[in-house]
Amino acid sequence: HHGHVVLIGYGRVGRLIAADLKAVGQDFVLIEDQSDVAREAEQAGIELIRGNALDADTLAAANIGGASRLLIAIPEGFEAGAIAKRVRELNVGLRIIARAHSDAEVAHLRKIGVPEVVMGEREIATRMLALC
């Protein structure tokens, strides 16, 4: 892989992202550490690295150094920050997009160098207001 997307997490948000990436033919690899969830991803035909995204071997297996984008779809914003910090050491220019559930998580992620943070609750509120 080179120029691919690395997706971390195959929960509710990660599944939607994976399905959309697959639908448009985007080359991507998923990192997932929960074995039952990983099995579901494999059954869906998704290229998978089983392991923790903080682990250097897991990141190497996903060729994080050659990736074009990292999508951190796990719901824990502070854990996402730890992953982003580790990844930055391996791929300084990588575009990282993460999710958060609170203003504190958003601020934390931005402070450590992740400017693109999506807060689900805010996005839902914005969309609902746009539909009014």
**Mean pLDDT, each 10-residue run in order, the chain (132 residues):** 95 97 97 97 97 96 97 95 94 95 94 94 95 96
C-alpha dist (Å) from residue 127 to 49, 61, 107, 118, 121: 34, 37, 22, 13, 10
Residue that the structure tokens 């990436």 belong to: 21
Question: 93 lies in which domain range?
Answer: 5-131
Residue-level pLDDT at 49: 98
Residue-level pLDDT at 81: 96
Question: CATH code at 69?
Answer: 3.40.50.720
Residue-level pLDDT at 4: 97
pTM for this prediction: 0.94
Tell me which residue of 56, 58, 70 sits closest to 21, measured CA to CA: 70
| Contacts (Cβ under 8 Å, ≥6 apart) of 126 | none
Residue-level pLDDT at 2: 86
- Are 103 and 85 spatial neighbours (Cβ–Cβ below 8 Å)? no
Residue-level pLDDT at 1: 79
Sheet containing 28-32: order of strands? 48-50, 28-32, 5-8, 69-72, 95-100, 116-119
Into how many domains does the chain fold?
Answer: 1
